[in-house]
Amino acid sequence: MKEYIRPIKRLLVANRGEIAIRIMRAATELGITTIAVYTYEDRYSLHRYKADEAYQIGRDEDPLKPYLDVEGIILLAKRHKVDAIHPGYGFLSENVKLARRCREEGIIFVGPSPEAMDALGDKVRAKNLATSAGVPLIPDSREENMSPEFALTEAERIGFPIMVKAAAGAEGAGCA
């Protein structure tokens, strides 16, 4: 059976709080069993109690890091016979490693394919793809390591106001 038509019976929501609650509510309306993950710090969080099942991830002294532990989440999903993992947004939603590991383990990743994440994770590559598809784009500069003088020339060419954006992200964690 092709992956995109395989039914989801057990959904692990790899996120917390309001994000997880909204995903679980939608899944429940579709008759899907929901599985929450939580850290010790979040042991009294509402998302834990809204799920059909809930499991602690990580050690007691790790309040947030376990939510980013791809291998730990995959192991838990396999242990509890999960059909699909929904990453919510933030945390793991842009983590290509999770999407790849889900595919390797036969778990549906509720989100874009690893190939799409790779292509769109690099903003320069994403703009090139959009250009080749005929998508209208705002003017930009693709020069690397430009001097302040050249940056000002480019800003004047593009027009103010301008936005400065890094070409590659840090998987939702910001850039240095």
- Does 174 map to a domain? no
pLDDT for 64-107, tens place per residue?
889 999 999 999 999 999 999 999 998 799 899 999 999 999 99
110 and 62: one domain? yes
pLDDT above 70 (res 4): no
Mean pLDDT of the chain: 88
Number of domains in the chain: 2
pLDDT for 17-30, tens place per residue?
999 999 999 999 99
Domain that holds residue 81: 3-117
Helix (H, G, I), strand (E, B) or coil at 107: coil
Give the pLDDT of residue 3: 53
123 and 167 in contact (C-beta within 8 Å)? Answer: yes
Distances (CA, A) of 105 to 73, 74, 81, 109: 12, 8, 11, 10
83 and 104: one domain? yes
* CATH classification of the domain holding 72: 3.40.50.20
Name residues whose C-beta falls within 8 Å of residue 155's C-beta, 6 or more positions apart in sequence.
162
- d(CA 104, CA 99) in angstroms, rounded, equals 9
